[in-house]
Amino acid sequence: MRALLLPVKDLNNAKKRLIGVLTPEERFALARAMLADTIRAVRGVRCAEKIFVVTNYAPVLCLAEENRWEILREKQQICESHSVDAASRVCERRGVSGLLRLPLDLPLIQSSDIDELLTVKCQAPALVIVPSRHGTGTNAILRTPPTLFPSHFGTASFAKHLAEAEKAHAQVMTRRNARLEMDVDDEGDLRALLEHDLNGTETGRWLHASGIAAKFLPNLRAGAMSAR
């Protein structure tokens, strides 16, 4: 059985690398908009036999209940790696053979992107991994079995996860997907996101309504003109 795991932290503490670029209220609103886009995509997934949410954030607990997703309620959040690994152990005990962890800040994600990863054919031990747009982070990770190796989300996580897979003698499959690679952690990511077509996304709607897009778009256009 293959399942999807969504780790969600308190959005009030999200996007700290955007401090100095966005106000606390703006960082919260951006995180909430990206969460809405990711949840919309997850609702359309067809190939996950189960969807698990690990969190102690009340609004997301309500969302999970509304969608009849399985809740793994945390007493406290230490870090994402700890949350994912604890949840992975529970999922494996419940019969999950392959577990796909997705972050909740992928504004361009589509249901088909998730289904494509869930249907990759592989035999245990195996790793399917999607890097961040810089190639250093880990934006999606499917481990078969779920506890194949411990998580190392954060700085240089992509290389760390590949090293762990090698130690576990696992088959490794790297997938490149521009939508899955486009998360937003810092100002550079935000500028890169604004170069994409955001029509139909809650993130795009908020960026334009809030004035954030107008704040950065002139600089993007100036950069494009000087590059010609």
Evaluate whether 131 touches 139 at the Cβ level (below 8 Å). yes
Spatial CA neighbour of 126 closest among 178, 176, 177, 161: 161
**DSSP letters for 159-186:** HHHHHHHHHTT-EEEE---HHHH----S
Q: What is the DSSP letter of 22?
A: B
Residue 227: per-residue pLDDT: 33
Residue 79 tokens read as 């870090």
The token pair that represents 139 in the structure block: 């934006």
Q: Which domains does the chain have, with CATH numbers?
A: 2-220 (3.90.550.10)
pLDDT reported for residue 216? 82
Please give the pLDDT value at position 225.
31
In this predicted structure, what is the pLDDT of residue 226? 33
Q: How far apart are the first and last CA of the chain?
A: 51
pLDDT in tens, the chain (228 residues): 999 999 999 998 888 889 989 999 999 999 999 999 999 999 999 999 999 999 999 999 999 999 999 999 998 888 999 999 999 999 999 999 999 999 999 999 999 999 999 999 999 999 999 999 999 999 999 999 999 999 999 889 999 999 999 999 999 999 999 999 999 989 999 999 999 999 999 999 999 999 999 888 765 544 433 333
Q: Measured in whole angstroms, how far is the alpha carbon of residue 103 from the centre of its chain?
A: 2
Tell me which residue of 60, 38, 173, 189 sits closest to 114, measured CA to CA.
38
Q: Is 208 helix (H, G, I), strand (E, B) or coil?
A: helix
Cα–Cα dist 23/181, whole Å = 25
